[in-house]
Amino acid sequence: MGNITLSFTVQGDSEGYVTFECPYCGSEFKLQAGEVQSDEEPVLELFCPYCGLAKEKSAFWSKDVRDKARALAENYMIEELNKAFGKMARSINRQKSIIKMTYKPLKKVYVKELKNADTAETEFQCTCCNRRVKALYCAGASKIFCPYCGVDL
């Protein structure tokens, strides 16, 4: 069996921002979907706007995105098992021997649609790379880093 690719979309908020989550500090922030997925300037790693630490882009997927990916993979596995056991049961039962096989198909797990709500984050634009981030900001109490180039905003 080869590699299987499952894909899905995440609907951004009214301005096209999608939620990400820092793998280090757990803080959430939003990035423009078009900037993160740009083919012209591919983003390989991100910096957390709060703690400033960097890691590959996939490490910043939010819990909801990871849960949806896991549910889609589970449903794919359930579908494949149901097909295999159904085929096996038909094959065994077709032989009219003393052995009979019955199975109860597995039920798929619920997969919720992902939609980002409009929230109270402040939008920042980096003067270095001109990309934008939405982050919670308390005047004078925090420092914000650019998620793309890591500079202090």
For residues 66 and 120, the model is more confident at 66
Consecutive H or E run containing 79: helix 63-94
For residues 75 and 39, the model is more confident at 75
Across the chain, mean pLDDT equals 88
Domain assignments of the chain as residue spans, ordered by start: 17-64+115-135
Nearest-CA neighbor of 13 among 27, 26, 29?
29
Residue 19's pLDDT is: 92
Nearest-CA neighbor of 73 among 109, 107, 23, 115?
109
Residue 139's pLDDT is: 53
What is the pLDDT averaged over residues 109-134?
A: 85
The CA distance from 61 to 144, in Å, is: 19
Read off the pTM.
Answer: 0.79
